[in-house]
Every structure is written in C-alpha cells, then in structure tokens.
Structure 1
Amino acid sequence: MKGLGSLAILASYAWLLVSGQTDVCRVRDRTFSTEPMPGGSHQPADKMNPVSGAVSTRFYVTVVNLTPHRIRLENTHSYQMDIFDFGDVPQGRARQNRVKYRGTWATGDDAGEAYYRIDGTDKTFALRLKSYIPNSAPRRVVLDLSGMGLGQREYVFPGAETSVSLVITGSNRFGFQASLRHGPGNWMRRMYNVIRDRKVRHLVMPGTHDSGMSRITDKITSIGSETNTQNQGINIYDQLRAGSRWFDLRIGSIHPNDNAGRYNGFWVLHVNDELATLAIGNSGESLDDVISEVNRFTSENPGEIIFFSIRYLVGRYEFPDRGPIMWNTAMVNDFFSKLRAINNRCLNLDTSTGFENQKASYFMDQNEGKGCVILLLNGQLPGDVPKESFGDGIYHIRRIGIQDHWSNKQTADAMAPDQIAKWRSFNRGGGSDYGNLHIAQWLVTPDAVASTVLSLQAYAIQPTNPSLYWAGVNGMDPEHWPNVLMVDYIGVQQRDQWGWDQLSAELYTLAVGLNLYMVSENCDVHGKKSPLLRSRGMGTEEDQQRLETSWNGIIFANGTTINNPPPTLHLGRVEILRNGTVLGNGTVLETSIPNPWF
C-alpha cells in the first residue's frame, strides 16, 4: 500500500510537470516585453510659468501596464484635436499618449476617446478627453475603468504640457487594481505570501522626501516659506496610507535665543544646512505629532515594515544665526524617551546581518505579527553621546546597507536620466546581485528664487512626479529597479488639493505592481511562479491574496465621489460623432453618426 501511495504521488507530480503547473519560476514564462516605447516629453521649463503655460494646448495621458497582459488599443476618435496619438501598452511598459487641442485655450468643443482591451480577458476601459468652457480648469480627462469593475475618475491636468497617469496591475486570475484610488493601507501585509521570502533589498516601496514638512510652523525665524520649504501636502499618517514606507525625517531641538540649555521640544526642520552659522528654512510637524500619526496608522494597519531615516539631530536657536547646538547625553536620552512612545518598534533586532539582507517576514512577523517601525539615526551626534539603543529599537543607519542617490538637478529632464542610469548600473538577482538598498530620489532641486516664485509643490506635481510613470517605468525591467522611490508631495495631483478624496494613487499602485509583477518576473529573486500567472486551484497561499475589484464608483475632479452611480453614467462620453470627427484609422466623418462604441 505504501508503494501504491508513492506511485500516486509521483504520478501527480509527473502530471504537474507535464501540464506546467509547478510552483517554480521559469524564464520561459516571462511576459515582460522589450518592445521599444515612443519617447516621451517632460514639461518644458517655460511652461512652469502660469502665464506661458496658460496658452499651451498640449497634454499627455500616460498608461502604465504592470500586468502579464498586453493592453491593446482598439479604437479612437477625436473632434477638433490637432494630435490624438494613442497606442498599445506592452507588458511591463508605459506609454505617454499625446494630445493637442485645436485652436486656443478657449476652444470649448474639442473631444476625443480612446478604447482599450486587456488582451486575453473580457476587461475593457476608455480614456476620454474634453474641454469645458468656460471653466477655470477646462482641460480634463476621464479614466473610465468601469469595464474592469474599477470605476471612473475625472482629472484636471496639473499644468500645461504635463501628464495624467493611469497605473494598472494584477492579472485576470489575480484580479486587477488601478490608480484611480488608494487600496487598503496595509499593502505589504496583503501581499505577505508574495514578498515574505524576499530580502528587504528586493522590495520596492514609496518614500517621502523631507517627510515631516507637511506644514510650516515657524518655530524658527527665517525666510523659509510654504513655497520654498514645504515638501509634502499630507501628514505622516496620510503618507503612510498613500503607501510610503521610507521616511526622510529631519529632527532638531528649538532653543530660546537667550538660553542654549533650554529647548522647546523636538521639531521637524528643513534648512539649507543644519550646521551652518545662519540656517535658512523653517520647521514642520512636531515630533509629538509624528509619533501620534505613526501610532494611529500602525494600530489600523499592523504588519507593515516602516523605515524612518532620522537626520539632523542638532539644536538651533529660535533665530538660527549662531550655528548649531550639539546634543549632549541628557538631550539624547530625552530624545530616545520620546521615541519610546512609538508603538511596534522592533527591539533587539539581529544586527549581525544587515537589515537589507533580512527577509521581509523577519520584520513583518515581529511584535506578534504587528510588524516593525525601524528607527535609523543618521544625524550629527557627537562622539561622546549614545547613538543606538537596541533595547529601545533605535539603531544607527549603518545597520542597513543603503545607497541614497540624489541627482541635485534643477529640472526633471536632467534628473530622470541620471536616476535611471544609477539603478541600471547594477543587477538584481544571480551571482552579481546588488547588495544594497537603493534609494532613488525622484525629485528636483530648484534654486531659491525658482522655488520661491514657482513653489516646490508645482515642481513636484507638474514636471517631476508625472515623469516617473513614463520615463522611470520605461527605465526598469525585472533585473533593474530601485528599492525606494522618494518623492515630494506624494499623492498630490492638483495644487493645494490635499484632502484625502482629492489625492491620486499612482505611486501606491506602482509599488504594488512593481512588487507583484516586475520583481516576480525575476526568477533569481522570486523563485516561485509569478502570482499573476498561477492557475487557480494550485493550492498556493497566494490564491487567497487577490486584489480588490469591488468598487465601481465615480470620483469627480473636485474629489466628490459617487459610490453607486447609475450604470449609464459615464463622464465625457460622446453619444454622437459629429461631422469632422477623425477616426483611429484616419477616416474623417462627413456626416454626424451615432457613436458605435457608445
């Protein structure tokens, strides 16, 4: 009987081998496409100026495909558009589609639609562009994914000659997810069975630059303002909800002008040089607020890995004109006491192995499965004060091997190729596997005049963040990608629209897709068959981690949401194709006809 049982097992295994249903990553199963993509366009510098930008009628819609299916363009039509250039998006690639409205900014009846199908599925979606005249924000695009059960969203373009981006990930068997809205806060925990055996340096996560500068609090008297010193529109709690897992946090103590021995708490700072005789900048959130926001998030979303790289760690006078005040042991102990209020710190971690080489599950399983908030000190502490406290879960930055690449470029078209070249200079997986955690600072550094006049926010949401989704993505493949995508103004799509319902979820969805699709296509890193390619019923735990597909509502440009719209409500849909409409095959209609794709 034992022999018969063994034969049955061998027979079952042989059937699995023949049918290809093994749980092993195979190079021949790779779906990533090497098809060249048309070149894209960064926003020209002069279009940052609202005056010159106001007369431009050129815009872009970027589609990012992080699925094993080709996204195929089926039909287009446009009316009074000088350019309406859309195309297929192969697997793992991004396409920046081009649009140029005809005539002047005041032309009100230009419109166009592009219809797409996800190859090998019954899923479809449409992109609709239109002008609304008169309106303060006339040029808009509707991303209609109701044919995928993922809803609709209306966007205003963030500036002249900029992109609105759509990121799609998942697969037909795993479910799809798109960037129209954020998913659950615990995106790491939801893909635990996909990433648990990966080393930390084989994860991809969003990060935020000058993370605590989500408001200006004027705790120091300097010329730093919202335009040139604030780097985020939402606080740490919402940055976490928006997907960020690496935080660039710069902390200092604030001292009365007449007493270096006293200090008025610990505050986030953003200054030109924390050690300069005269520091120029301002303060942001208090450390107390940061701690409260982190604790709120981890109580709602246990099981994540959250890194805080904490810099500065010096004091400054309220009028910061006399250089830094170096922390003594008493001040460091007071700072450590504050940090002990952070929940889910990971105490006494194994430091014999660099944190970058630990498996994700090592951190996610800490604190009885509640995950890890990892505090990494990277400041200006003098030699005679404590710099770590393993028992408190406070570690020096040297405990993790990182490469933090800052381009120090003033424009996105100079920054983007520099960042891409850096992460393409090393390989992931195999005998030459890159050994560090790579932080890509996808941000620009305008000079003081430019940032004051135009604002750091405008630089982030107009030329810089949109370029990540075509230039950045097309600079990646399964062997080349960064670990941290660090940005300013995470989630902000329209200037000064920082409410949660007004945010967009491109970076959140990109991180999910890069981990789920891009990294999973690298057999040296993932090892198992990609979760997006498995057949149902294989009995794997990943079968239980399908993406959310249950929402099919509408989000309007102002953030208003309808969760259960009538099935006939499709924003911007053209019912009649007017004479003069140009079809995708070049045909120009001589008479008006009903829209056959309506």
Structure 2
Amino acid sequence: MRFLGLLAVLASSAWLPASGQTDDVCRAEDRTYSTKNVPAGSHQPFEQLNPLLGSLSTKFYITVVNLTPHRIRLQNTHSYQMDTFEFGDVPQGRARQNRIKYRGTWSTGDDAGEAYYALDGTDKTFVLRVKTYASEPDPRRVVLDLSGMGLGQREYVFPGGETAVSLVITGSSRFGFQASLRHGPGNWMRNLYDVIGDRPVRHLVMPGTHDAAMSKITDKLTSIGSEPNTQNQGVNIYDQLRAGSRWFDLRIGSVHDNNDAAVNKGFWAMHLSDEMATVAIGNTGESLDEIVDEINRFTDENPGEVVFLAIRYLVGRYERPDRGPILWTAAVVNDFFAKLRGIKNRCPDLDDGGTGGLQNREASYFMDRNQGRGCVIPLLNGHLDRDGVPRESPGDGIYDMGRVMAVSDHWSNKMQASDMAPDQIANWRSATRGGGGDYGSLMIAQWLVTPDALASTAYSLQSFAIQPANPSLYWAGVNGMDPEHWPNVLLVDYIGVQQQDRWAWDQLSAELYTLAVGLNLYMISENCNVSPHRSPLLRSAQEEEGVVAAAAAAAAAAATLGGSLRAPWNGIVFANGTTLDNPPPDLHPGRMDVLPKGTRLGNGTVLEQSIPNPW
C-alpha cells in the first residue's frame, strides 16, 4: 500500500478510549459553535483613503477571530489618553471588532492601552497592546502578544484611515493552537490530510487570489493601465501559494505585433476593462512562463497540494489594444497548451466518478495523484467556443471548466465594503451545507470592492484592498458564517499585504492562511452532516501524533511530505519585518510597566497616581 493510502486509512480509523467505545464520531451534542450575538463592527468608508481625511482619523480597531472550541474571555483592560478602549469576549466560532478611539490626533505621543485575554478551560493567555511612538514615521502600533500561548509576538502598524488589525486563532487545548502572526508550512492541505481528505472539494474552504498574476506591471500593452488602477497583488504566484492561495483567477492573453497579427509575442497575464472591446484599457502582468516556473517551484517544495488555475480571457490583443480582440486559432491554442504542459503535477484524465462534477470528488482523489505529489488543474473558461479550436486537452490535464466543474462565482460590483460584505454573505447563506439540500456547486466569494477608474487611480487598488475590503472579512465575513453556511473560495486582492507597498515575505501577514486552516479544522468539522468524524480539535495532540507516527513507521520517506501546523515558535516579529526567534523572556514591545496617573482601568476607575502595572 502506498504511504498516502495508508495515511488515509489510519487517519480515518476510530480511536478506542478506555471504555472501548468508538470516539471518532461527530455528535451534535459535541458542537461548541456559539450563536451568541457579538457587537456589530464598522466598515471603513473608502473616502477615508483620502490622505487628508485618513490622517485626521482617531478611530482604529483590533479584530479577534476565535476558531477554537474555547471561549476567548476578556480579563482586564487599561488605557491612557484614549476616549474609547472597548474590548470584550469572543465566543467560539465568532469574531469581535474591538474599538479604539484616541483622544488626540497623530501628534499625540503617549497614548497606550492593553487588553488581557484568556482561553476558557486552558492555561493559555494573550495580550493586545496599543502604543504610540511619536518619534516614529508610523507612530501608532499594536502588538499581538501570544507568548502566553507559546505562539510569539507580532508588532503591526495601523494601516491608516479607520481600519483594523486582525488576529485569527484556531486549534484547541487538545490539538494545539495556531495563530496568524506568521504563516505555517506551505503545504497546509497536506498537513490537514486526515481532516479534509475524505471531504469533497465543495466542502473545503481555501484562499483565492483575484487577478492573481497581476503582481507587477510589465507594459506589454500600450495603454493607460498603471500600478494603482491595474495591479491586484503585491507578491507573485509562488508567494501567493505560500500564503495559502489554492484558487487562482488568471486572465491570460497573447500579445501581437502592432503591424502583424500573426506575430505572437508571447502569453501574458492581463487585466483589461473588457478583453473583447475595440479599445481595451489595462496592462499586462507576469508572463505565462513565469507563472509556470513559480508554480513548479512551489510544488517541488510542497508536495501534496491541490491547485486550481481558473484561466479566463484566452484571446489576443495588439500591442496597442485599439483594434479589438484577436481570436485564437487552433495553432495559437496548441502553443498555449504547450506552455501549460510545462506545469508539473498536472492530473490527466480526471473524471467525476458519476458525481456530477470534480467539485464533488473527495480532496484525497486529487492529493494522492502523482505518487502523493498532488494536482495542479488548469480550468479554461475563455473565448475558445469556435469550430476547429480545442477547448481542452484532458490527456494533458487541461480542462474546460464548464464541462468538468459546477462553479458559482459571485461578484458584488460594489465600491463600499459596507455594501459588498452583506451582498457576499447573503449569497453564501443561501446555500446550505450538508443534509438532503446540500449545495452542489463550488462557491467563490469575491471579497472585493470595485472602485471606479477615478478612485482606483487616485487611491490605488492596493489601498482599497488593505483598508476597506480585506479587514472586513475577519469580522463581517466570519460572523456571516456558521457550520452550515460558508463559501469555498475566499477571493481577495493583495493577499497577505497589511501595509502599503510592504510586499517582502517577512512583512506579509497570515490572517487568510490561518482563517482557511481554522475554517476547515473548526467550522466545517462542527457540521456532522459534512464531517462524520469527531472534530480534530476535540482529539488530543497525542492521538493525532499517534496516527501520523503509525503511518510514518510504515513509510519512513514520509518525512518529506510535510511539516507540522503547530511547529513551536515563541519569537517576535517587529513592524519592519525583523524577526527575533529567541528573544529574552522579558521582552514585550509596547508593554506598560508603569500605569501613569490618569490611566483608565477596565472597571472605569481612573488612577490618581502612577502605579506598577499589576498585570
């Protein structure tokens, strides 16, 4: 038996506790998801992207997402020179947007506050610290201090406007914890094999990236598309994969000589106002060659993943795109297919097994392919519907999306996050998961705002993503989910980017990565009509490790097939990306060792004299 097949058998086997009763069964009475209401949050209006308005703002937020079976309980707070410092409990499966309002403006130099939390039923604690450093170019900081959970500390700069810094926590006292301070291993799907392997793809949640290959502007087209209004990602496909993305919205076209349509100058990612318009506005991003190389680099390093390439456009444009599209001939399509054949770990001749689409196939069907190295699946959805032009090549692992997979792809086309969020939530709440009415398609939630050309040029797509859009996912989006209602793909712009133009890997944040892991581990596992097995978060770490150890003993080479989702680390990541892996135990950036006179305690008391911080 191959290692992965054995792993699947062992991972799905029942644990037999001392009573001799099977313990690996999902029971409704074990559900921990809380239906208690949490205070409504606030969406940042896009007008706050105006530098003048944004610079005058004194409102900020820290969102805490709880994807654990433990209530996150507020213990104490104190604040100094703040009008509002409102924090509270975070029930299981829910998110809370905590409110902060500074008394002064950006010139204030001594604002500070701390909120202390504990996880019920555990010895785990963490602290959220807010501090102003008047001498710094980015004066307002928050430190997410999870050293009391053994998960380290991370310092963030508030992104600006009236937006939020987010913290996502998943896991349990029995399973171990993971938080969004930094990314886990690249092959997160492989590391969740025993959890997701027997679930159909439509019962998974995965990050996705919108206009994924528009991570730079390459000017292969002569148009007015620029970085502010045309670039959609800060990092390339390789780093998007490392950041957790498994669904890639790719728009690929060919660029043709201005004087001779027969001269194809290559295949490029494109972001155009309308790829079929007489005059197309936009630009090009990564080349198809770069995309292929980046995918191959990732899958070489991280075997066992399932990567979907949803490829649109599939037309040509002149270098000066003012004469309409150039429809691909069979020869151009064959050249395109030749490029795609350079992708490693394609999966030829996939079939739905009579299930009605690949979205209904179990994840292990794809993860076990290529001797356990997983699948990269190009799904074509472009302008190839003409006689004599091939639309797919199943023998090469290249598929017509419409033939092999049922996909619901909902775009809100809203400029304000406050309009987009409820529209997306209403869409996925219309689809029940599990039971006789189980939703049968793969659902893509386009968690994106859509600014007009003037606003995107003035403020940039990046600013729209990292201030109004992405932070709202972690309170509004999460609170719009429950174990019966969630989308399959969370499609975003600028994955991992938390600060404007800070795109280096060590400056990226891991909220979406951790959210996807947590939704698969916790939220979906709480639905017994979807997951017949007991939630992995209710199993002990020893039970989990025992299953993996048994499989490893059967195949020692398995060590190359993935690391741990909970590798020990208790370091510090500073706002500039600098990392201390082994800091002194008493180093806690932003900590107030002395509470100054005037500090307001959580119970409303105002200190009349300075005292040592009792917490």
Give yes or no for TM over 0.5: yes
**Is the CA contact 2:215–2:285 (under 8 Å) kept in the aligned structure 1?**
yes
**Contact 2:68 2:169 (C-alpha < 8 Å) held by counterparts:** yes
Does residue 356 in structure 1 map to residue 388 in structure 2? Answer: no
Q: Is the Cα contact below 8 Å between 1:176 and 1:549 reproduced in 2?
A: no
Aligned equivalent of 1:572: 590
Measure, in 1, the Cα distance between the counterparts of 2:614 and 2:147. 18
Task: Spell out, residue by residue over 1:384-409, the C-alpha distance to the aligned partner (whole angstroms, 9 max, x if none).
Answer: 20011111000001211110000000
Structure 1: distance between partners of 2:529 and 2:293 = 40
Q: Which residue of 2 aligns with 1:192?
A: 193
Cα deviation, residue 364, structure 1: 0.2
Letter in 2 for 1:551: W
Structure 2 SS opposite 1:143:
strand
Q: Aligned partners of 1:549, 1:92: CA distance in 2, in Å?
A: 23
1:449-501 CA-partner distances (Å, limit 9, x unpaired): 00000000000000100000000000000000000000000000000000000
Q: Which segment is superposed worse, 511-520 or 382-391?
A: 382-391
Distance in 1 (CA, whole Å) between partners of 2:588 and 2:610 is 21
Select the residue among 482, 502, 506 that pairs with 1:477: 482
One of 387, 390, 393 as aligned partner of 1:389: 393
2:594 maps to a residue whose letter is: I
Does the CA-based 8 Å contact 1:63-1:94 persist in structure 2?
yes
Q: 2:600 aligns with which of 579, 582, 585?
A: 582
Residue 395 of structure 1 aligns with an amino acid whose one-letter code is Y
Of 347-356 and 239-248, more deviation after overlay is shown by 347-356
Q: Structure 1 pair 447/76, CA: closer, same or farther in 2 (3 Å)?
A: same
Q: Look up the match of 2:377.
A: 374
Structure 1 contact 194–542 (Cα < 8 Å) conserved? no
The answer on whether the counterparts of 1:150 and 1:549 sit within 8 Å (CA) in structure 2 is no
For residue 173 of structure 1, report the CA deviation from its aligned partner.
1.2
1:3-27: per-residue Cα shift (whole Å, max 9, x none)? xxxxxxxxx889244xxx6211000
For 2:7, the equivalent position in structure 1 comes to none
Q: What code does the residue aligned with 1:499 have?
A: A
- Residues 540, 180 of structure 1: CA spacing in aligned structure 2 closer, same or farther, 3 A cutoff? closer
- The CA deviation at 1:220 is 0.3
State the Cα deviation string for residues 396-428 of structure 1 (Å, max 9, x = none): 012111100000001111000000000001100
Structure 2 Cα separation of the partners of residues 458 and 541 of structure 1: 46
Please name the residue that 2:514 is paired with.
509
Aligned amino acid, residue 498 of structure 2: Q
* Correspondence for 1:5: none
Query: What is the CA deviation profile of residues 85-127 of structure 1, one whole-angstrom value per residue up to 9, with x for unaligned ones?
Result: 0000010000000001112221111100000111111111000
CA spacing shift, 1:543–1:573, aligned 2, 3 Å: farther
Output one character per residue of 1:47-73: Cα deviation in whole Å (capped at 9) or x when no partner: 111111101111000000000001111
Q: Which amino acid aligns with 1:437?
A: L
SS of 2:427's partner is helix
**Residues 228, 539 of structure 1: CA spacing in aligned structure 2 closer, same or farther, 3 A cutoff?**
closer
State the secondary structure of the residue aligned to 1:428. coil
CA distance in 1, matches of 2:418, 2:136: 31
- Which residue of structure 2 aligns with residue 319 of structure 1? 320
Residues 291-318 of structure 1, C-alpha deviations (whole Å, 9 max, x = no match) = 0000000000000000000000000000
Please name the residue that 1:9 is paired with: none
Measured at CA, do residues 192 and 290 of structure 1 come closer, stay the same or move farther in structure 2, by a change above 3 Å?
A: same
Alignment correspondent of 1:101 = 102
Q: Identify if the C-alpha distance between structure 1 residues 285 and 546 changes in structure 2 by more than 3 Å, giving closer, same or farther.
A: closer
SS in 1 for 2:509: coil
Runs of 4+ that moved beyond 2 A: 12-17, 535-547
Separation (CA, whole Å) in 1 of partners of 2:492 and 2:544: 39
User: Quick one: which amino acid aligns to residue 363 of structure 2?
Assistant: A
1:272 aligns with 2:277: no
Alignment of 1:301-340 (within 5 A): 301-340=302-341
Shift of 1:44: 2.2
Q: Is the 8 A contact 2:77 2:602 kept in 1?
A: yes
- Structure 1 residues 580 and 281: CA distance shift in structure 2, 3 A: same
CA distance in 2, matches of 1:72, 1:312: 49
Name the structure 2 match of 1:8.
none
Q: 1:541 to 1:378 in 2, by over 3 A?
A: farther
**Corresponding letter in the other structure for 1:488:** D
Match of 1:156 in 2: 157
- Aligned AA (1:589): L
Distance 1:446 1:537, change over 3 A: closer
2:282 is matched with which residue? Answer: 281
CA distance in 1, matches of 2:273, 2:325: 13
1:178 match: 179
Question: After superposition, what is the alpha-carbon deviation per residue over 1:167-207, rounded to whole angstroms, capped at 9, x for unaligned?
Answer: 00000111100000000000000010110000000000000
Per the normalisation by structure 1, the TM-score is 0.96
DSSP-derived class of the 2:106 partner: coil
Partner of 2:458: 453
Q: Is contact 2:571–2:582 with CA below 8 Å preserved after alignment? A: yes
CA deviation string 1:482-523 (max 9, x = no partner): 000000000000000000000000000000000000000000
Tell me, yes or no, if the aligned pair for 2:185 and 2:565 is still in contact at 8 Å. Answer: no
Matched, 1:562 2:580: yes
**Residue number in structure 1 paired with 2:531:** 526
User: How far has the Cα of 1:536 moved from its partner?
Assistant: 5.5
Secondary structure of 1:374's partner? strand
Residue 594 of structure 1 is matched in structure 2 by 612
Q: State the partner residue of 1:110.
A: 111
Cα distance in 1, alignment partners of residues 71 and 612 from structure 2:
29
C-alpha separation in 1, matches of 2:270 and 2:57: 37
| Superposition pairs of residues 12-23 of structure 1, within 5 angstroms | 15-17=19-21, 22-23=23-24
Question: CA shift at 1:579, angstroms?
Answer: 1.2
Contact 1:175 1:546 in 2 (8 A): no
Partners of 2:306 and 2:374 within 8 A in 1: yes
| CA distance in 2: counterparts of 1:322 and 1:546, whole angstroms | 53
Q: 3-state DSSP class of the match of 1:47?
A: helix
SS in 1 for 2:83: strand
Give the direction of change, closer, same or farther, for the CA distance of 1:542–1:275 in structure 2 (3 Å limit).
farther
Aligned residue in 1 for 2:73: 72
Residue identity matched to 1:377:
L
For residue 580 of structure 1, report the CA deviation from its aligned partner.
0.9
Alignment length (residue pairs): 583
Using the alignment, how far apart are the partners of 2:317 and 2:45 within structure 1?
39
Alignment partners' CA distance in 1, 2:495 and 2:275: 25
8 Å Cα contact 2:249/2:310 also seen in 1: yes
Which residues of 2 match residues 50-89 of structure 1 at below 5 A? 50-89=51-90
2:213 alignment counterpart: 212
Over the aligned positions, Cα root-mean-square deviation in angstroms equals 1.3
Q: What secondary structure, in the 3-state scheme, does the structure 1 residue paired with 2:464 have?
A: helix
User: Is 1:409–2:409 an aligned residue pair?
Assistant: no
Identity, % of aligned positions: 72
Gap runs ≥5 in structure 1: 1-11
Cα distance in 1, alignment partners of residues 191 and 542 from structure 2: 19
- Which amino acid letter does the alignment assign opposite residue 31 of structure 1? T
The answer to whether the 8 A contact 2:188-2:565 is kept is no
Q: Within 2, Cα distance between the matches of 1:217 and 1:538? A: 51
Any idea what SS the aligned residue of 1:290 has?
Answer: helix
1:346 corresponds in structure 2 to 347
User: Given the superposition, is the C-alpha separation of residues 480 and 539 from structure 1 closer, same or farther in structure 2, using an over 3 Å criterion?
Assistant: closer
Deviates more, 1:380-389 or 1:87-96: 380-389
Give, in angstroms, the shift of residue 541 of structure 1.
6.3
- Change in Cα spacing, 1:516 to 1:596, as seen in structure 2 (3 Å) is same
- SS of the residue corresponding to residue 264 of structure 1 reads strand
